[in-house]
Each structure stands twice: as structure tokens, then as C-alpha cells.
């Protein structure tokens, strides 16, 4: 993390980064019931920046909270404004944004009782999630020995913090064996998703992605589906097996952090030609044109905000 003194929005106040702390008996720390979001802001040209699909991310945060029976003590509008204000205060042209609603201290047992609910929002620079060269060269992945959580054991439509213990274990296993990322199968053995990403394959010119039965409703996933339709790419939402993944022509992950990251091999089986394929590159190029403000067709996905350093330069030039 940069040494720049970033602020964090914490229960309605902007506090210094190092002072945004909680007690060791915070309920969520012990039992994992919290909900969060991952959101990105991109620089769009020389003098403006924008948050990508901010309303959809806020809607999903509050949907997750509803599923988890967490009542966030701030409205969607207040959260929206807090995110934009935080980006401006931290003078960020590009950023990863992490809102999290969690259960505070008080009652220590499993039932949180009337323990207070807190909302914290951080924003900071974050580059390529899966490593240098991941977007241009692709990554290696491993089918995990851990299974994606079943729909009735965990709430798979909610970004609940505790759900990600499953992902952390899968990620640790894969990286310890020399892979970049893990791919989890669902409880019936079909390909589900990565540790923090949705997954797509291309086979015989057809783009495929698993249905939402046991995977998170990814906002980047939805964006890619809409882009593919606009590009005239044939799309099927259907289950596929690990061996169909092995013989795919192309494969890639999608997610706020991962963006569109090509997969070059799975379990040491080379995917296609072992490098980003033409449809992957086409979707990736269109995606970055959109998030960086070069594609007018999807401008409604961008929410622009003022950047202090840009305003300062403009004022000083007058």
C-alpha cells in the first residue's frame, strides 16, 4: 500500500487510514458474517475519471445485506455519495473501492443480537490482480480439490465475507503448487467459477459461461454477456465439464479485480494455442474501451467524478 495518507469513510466520517480500526471482539471477525463489494474506477482520458457500474455494485451490496439479514444503517444514496466523495478526497484517478458492512462488538455468541452494524469504505490504487502480464499473456489455473459451496449450505448470491474462506483455501492450494489461480467445481462436478471470478470458455466459436445456479452474479460477467451480444458473438449460458474446459479453444476469467484475464492452461493442459485467443482479445479490447471512456455506446455504465489533482492543474493553468 502506498504511503500516501489516504482516508477511509467509516460510519459517516472520513478518518485517517491507520485509524480505521475495530475491536478484537468484533462479531464479524469471529464468525465471518459481513457483506462487501469490489468496485473499480478508471481514468478516462486526460481530465476525467469514472466508476464502472456503480449503481449495480451498490444494489448488489444491499441485496447481499438483505440475504445476510444485515441492515446497513445508511441509504444507497448515502453510500453512493460517500464513494464519490472518498475518491475525490483521496485524489484518485484510478482506484479499487471496497465497501464492507459488518457486525460490531457486543454480544460474543453466535447470535449477534443487537450488536451495531458498521459500514466502511476504502479506496486505493490497485493494478493487475492476477500478476504482471496476466491480461496480455494469460494465467495458469488448477481445478481445485475444494468444491464451490452448495446453494443451501451458503448463500451463493451474496458476497458474504465468510463464504470466501472456501476461495482462500482453494487459492492457497493452487498457488502452493505453482499455479496462478484455482477453478472450483460445483457440488455436481461441473465447472463453477474461480476463487473470485466468473469463468467463460469459447468452443467452436460459441461463448459459454455457467448459469447462475451456484455462482455469484458477477457484474463484469453481465457486462461481458452484453458486450458479446453487441458484438454478435453466439452465447450460451450452460453447464460444462472440466474436460470440456480442457478442450476449449479459449478461456478467460471475469471480475472487478480480474477484469478480463485469459487462461492459457488448466491442470497443465494448454487451452487452445496457450495464449489469449481472438474472441477473448476482442472482448477484452471492447471492455477496456468502455471502462476508459472510449466507447460511447455504454457510457451509461460510467459515473464520472472530479479528480482534485486534475482540477488543481486546470486552475493553476488559468
Point out the catalytic residue in the list 159, 171, 268, 273. Answer: 159
Cβ atoms 292, 259 nearer than 8 A: no
Of 310, 262, 301, 300, the C-alpha closest to 128 is 262
Q: How far is Cα 149 from Cα 156, in angstroms, rounded to an integer?
A: 7
Give the CA dihedral 99, 42, 285, 247, nearest 10 degrees.
Answer: -20
Among this protein's residues, is 159 annotated catalytic? yes
Residue-wise over 80-95: b if at least 16 C-beta within 10 A, else e?
A: bebbbebbbebebbbb
**Residues forming the active site:** 159
Amino acid at each position: 500500500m502506498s504511503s500516501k495518507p489516504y482516508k477511509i469513510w467509516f460510519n459517516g466520517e472520513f478518518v485517517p487510514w491507520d485509524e480505521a480500526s475495530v475491536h478484537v471482539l468484533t462479531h464479524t471477525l469471529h464468525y465471518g458474517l459481513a457483506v462487501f463489494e469490489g468496485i473499480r474506477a478508471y481514468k478516462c482520458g486526460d481530465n476525467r475519471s469514472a466508476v464502472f457500474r456503480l449503481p449495480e455494485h451498490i444494489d448488489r451490496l444491499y441485496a447481499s445485506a438483505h440475504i445476510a439479514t444485515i441492515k446497513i444503517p445508511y441509504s444507497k444514496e448515502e453510500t453512493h455519495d460517500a464513494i464519490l466523495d472518498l475518491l475525490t478526497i483521496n485524489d484518485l484517478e484510478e482506484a479499487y473501492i471496497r465497501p464492507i458492512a459488518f457486525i460490531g462488538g457486543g454480544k460474543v455468541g453466535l447470535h449477534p443480537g443487537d450488536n451495531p452494524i458498521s459500514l466502511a469504505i476504502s479506496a486505493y490504487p490497485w493494478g493487475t490482480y492476477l500478476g504482471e502480464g496476466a491480461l496480455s499473456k494469460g494465467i495458469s489455473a488448477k481445478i481445485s480439490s475444494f468444491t464451490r459451496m452448495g446453494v443451501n449450505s451458503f448463500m451463493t448470491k451474496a458476497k458474504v465475507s465468510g463464504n470466501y474462506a472456501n476461495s482462500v483455501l482453494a487459492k492457497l492450494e493452487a498457488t502452493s503448487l505453482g499455479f496462478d489461480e484455482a477453478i472450483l467445481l460445483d457440488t455436481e462436478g461441473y465447472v463453477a467459477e474461480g476463487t473470485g471470478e466468473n469463468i467463460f470458455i469459447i468452443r467452436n466459436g460459441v461463448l459459454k459461461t455457467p448459469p447462475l445456479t451456484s455462482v455469484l452474479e458477477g457484474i463484469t460477467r453481465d457486462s461481458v454477456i452484453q458486450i458479446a451480444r453487441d458484438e454478435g458473438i453466439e452465447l450460451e449460458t450452460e453447464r460444462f465439464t472440466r474436460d470440456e474446459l480442457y478442450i476449449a479453444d479459449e478461456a478467460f476469467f471475469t471480475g472487478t479485480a480480474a477484469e478480463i484475464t485469459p487462461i492459457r492452461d488448466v491442470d497443465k493442459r494448454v487451452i487452445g494455442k496457450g495464449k489469449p485467443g481472438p474472441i477473448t482479445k476482442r472482448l477484452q479490447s471492447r471492455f477496456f474501451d468502455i471502462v476508459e471512456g472510449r466507447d460511447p455506446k455504454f457510457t451509461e455504465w460510467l459515473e464520472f467524478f472530479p479528480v482534485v489533482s486534475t482540477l488543481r492543474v486546470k486552475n493553476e493553468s488559468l
